[in-house]
């Protein structure tokens, strides 16, 4: 009887230990006390693991079975657990969780509903938002908002227009979101000082609406005292026709305004062939990303000015 009861107790301990290992594995070595209790561990079980040194307390609510340095996702889990049960990664951090690369952001961005009561945690920036809906959340894996919502939020929270444009453009370039999804997410933004800028950026990122950026570029040239280019100039390359965005025929200079769609493989190949054809015909080609035209126009216009002067143009 005792032997059977002892065997049953030992089996239960093994089952609880296995469930805790699975929980830690799913969350990159971090779990909350509440989660550990939910898989069957008692308070004394948790205390025993901590006292033995096999587990480590990361904060008042979080425990780790990794005693060394946590990976980035382990730190995200710790921050979420410590901030509160309704916390979710948002902004740039949610985009990084979805696969965004090439953008460095040391802070962990977390959102909570207005009704939530977030706790402070070092390194975490907590955003109270009325806009977060249940449909905004990704159900599987680490709690986070959908990439399109995260990209719009990241752009609204960015330190500058340049950073906002970079985040949204990179999200489209890396195929984490579509322009249509961003446009849908922007519909929930009613009032914000950056709203108009972001809506215009979405127009620029939309592959089929290139003419708006070209018209803006012509206006910028006039304002900077540069000669206005011929737009949509047509070239016959023998094997076919090609249209370039902006050209100063007299000075053999071409400026191409590039949206995010130019980075997709078929378009990249077409652009390269067109530029090579122009270059072999002595035209020089400058390339200006749409995001650059929006966020740093002066530096690009200085390059255009220098190219025109080098080819014989003289300011009046």
Reported as a single tens digit per residue, the pLDDT across 277-290 is 545 455 688 888 77
Same domain? 200 vs 87: yes
**pLDDT of amino acid 2:** 40
**pLDDT of amino acid 262:** 46
Angle between helices 179-186 and 195-205 (to 10 degrees): 160
Domain count, the chain: 3
Of residues 228 and 265, which shows the higher confidence score? 228
**pLDDT of amino acid 265:** 43
Kindly state whether residue 21 falls inside one of the protein's structural domains.
yes
Six-digit token string for 268: 């990249």
Instruction: Please tell me the least confidently modeled range out of 57-61, 214-218, 312-316.
Output: 214-218
CA gap 177, 232 in Å, rounded: 29
CA gap 250, 307 in Å, rounded: 12
Same domain? 221 vs 302: yes
179, 205, 231: which is the final residue of a domain? Answer: 205
pLDDT tens profile 16-27: 889 999 999 999
Residue 315 pLDDT exceeds 50: yes
C-alpha dihedral (267, 269, 274, 276), degrees to nearest 10: 150
Same domain? 94 vs 163: yes
Six-digit token string for 254: 């071409």
Report which secondary-structure segment, H or E, holds 108. Answer: strand 108-113
**Domain residue limits at 280:** 211-310
């Amino acid at each position: 009887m005792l032997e059977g009861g002892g065997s049953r107790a030992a089996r239960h301990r093994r089952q609880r230990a296995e469930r805790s290992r699975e929980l830690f594995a799913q969350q990159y070595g971090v779990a909350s006390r509440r989660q550990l209790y939910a898989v069957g561990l008692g308070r004394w079980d948790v205390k025993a693991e901590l006292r033995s040194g096999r587990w480590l307390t990361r904060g008042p609510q979080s425990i780790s079975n990794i005693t060394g340095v946590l990976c980035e996702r382990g730190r995200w889990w710790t921050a979420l657990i410590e901030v509160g049960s309704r916390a979710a990664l948002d902004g740039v951090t949610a985009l990084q969780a979805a696969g965004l690369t090439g953008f460095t952001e040391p802070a962990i961005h977390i959102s909570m509903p207005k009704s939530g009561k977030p706790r402070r945690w070092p390194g975490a920036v907590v955003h109270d938002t009325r806009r977060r809906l249940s449909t905004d959340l990704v159900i599987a894996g680490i709690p986070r908002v959908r990439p399109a919502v995260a990209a719009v939020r990241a752009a609204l929270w960015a330190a500058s227009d340049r950073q906002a444009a970079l985040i949204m453009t990179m999200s489209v370039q890396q195929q984490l979101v579509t322009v249509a999804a961003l446009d849908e997410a922007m519909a929930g933004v009613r009032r914000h000082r950056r709203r108009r800028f972001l809506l215009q950026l979405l127009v620029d990122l939309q592959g089929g609406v290139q003419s708006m950026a070209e018209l803006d570029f012509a206006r910028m040239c006039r304002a900077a005292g540069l000669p206005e280019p011929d737009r949509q100039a047509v070239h016959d390359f023998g094997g076919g026709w090609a249209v370039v965005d902006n050209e100063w025929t007299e000075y053999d200079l071409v400026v191409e305004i590039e949206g995010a769609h130019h980075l997709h493989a078929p378009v990249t190949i077409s652009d390269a062939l067109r530029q090579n054809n122009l270059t072999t015909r002595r035209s020089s080609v400058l390339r200006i990303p749409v995001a650059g035209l929006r966020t740093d126009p002066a530096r690009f216009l200085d390059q255009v000015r220098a190219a025109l002067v080098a080819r014989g143009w003289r300011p009046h």
